[in-house]
Amino acid sequence: MTVPIPLDGPGEVLVAVRGGSEAYTAWSATSIDRDARVVVVDTVSARGVIVERLPS
Alpha helices of 1-56 — where are they, by DSSP H? Answer: none
State mean pLDDT over 5-14.
Answer: 96
Q: Provide the edge-to-edge strand list for the sheet that holds 20-27.
A: 11-17, 20-27, 48-53, 38-45
Sign, CA torsion 33/35/40/41 = negative
Please state, rounded to an integer, the average pLDDT across all residues of the chain: 95
> pTM to 2 decimals?
0.89
**Average pLDDT rounded to a whole number, residues 34-47:** 96
Segment 29-56 mean pLDDT: 95
Phi–psi pair at 49, nearest 5 degrees: -135, 155
CA gap 18, 38 in Å, rounded: 18
Residue 56: per-residue pLDDT:
78
pLDDT 10s digits, 17-28: 999 999 999 999
